[in-house]
């Protein structure tokens, strides 16, 4: 025969001590509901963070784009080579070394915004103008 212990009548004195103390007293189903709500909010926040990290890892730019080089359209003054070279971000001086003739004569190609003509600007200190149309609306460099 199993002996189950029966609870006696509810003692109101224990509840009075709880009510007399400062703060909020949560009892029963209300307390469980509040705790469940807090746990679900925490799980939802963690899922948002994990989702954002996963989305970033999938959609982040390719390593080549975020690498240490950028493409530049160039033309060699000595041999006439025209092409795209990968230039390190630390490279601040032009002309670059030509891959065809080996001389340091590759200069960056610029593009006119008025007539879309691509050209290598002169070495003079005057304002850069397009040799085809004479416009001063030239971009800083042609996009490869």
Q: What is the pLDDT of residues 120-133, one digit of tens each?
A: 877 766 777 787 88
Which 3 state secondary structure label does DSSP give 100?
Answer: coil
Residue 111 forms beta bridges with which residues?
118
pLDDT at 34 over 80: yes
- Whole-number pLDDT of residue 102: 84
CA-to-CA dists, residue 5 to 15, 22, 28, angstroms: 22, 33, 21
pLDDT at 37 over 70: yes
């Amino acid at each position: 025969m199993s002996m189950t212990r029966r609870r006696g009548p509810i003692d109101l004195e224990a509840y009075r001590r709880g009510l007399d103390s400062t703060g909020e007293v949560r009892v029963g189903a209300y307390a469980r509901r509040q705790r469940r709500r807090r746990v679900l909010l925490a799980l939802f926040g963690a899922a948002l963070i994990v989702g954002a990290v996963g989305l970033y890892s999938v959609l982040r730019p390719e390593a080549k784009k975020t690498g240490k080089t950028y493409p530049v359209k160039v033309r060699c003054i000595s041999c006439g080579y025209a092409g795209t070279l990968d230039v390190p971000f630390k490279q601040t001086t032009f002309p670059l070394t030509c891959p065809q003739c080996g001389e340091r004569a590759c200069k960056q190609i610029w593009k006119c915004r008025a007539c879309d003509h691509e050209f290598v600007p002169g070495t003079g200190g005057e304002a850069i103008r397009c040799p085809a149309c004479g416009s001063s609306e030239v971009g800083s460099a042609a996009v490869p």
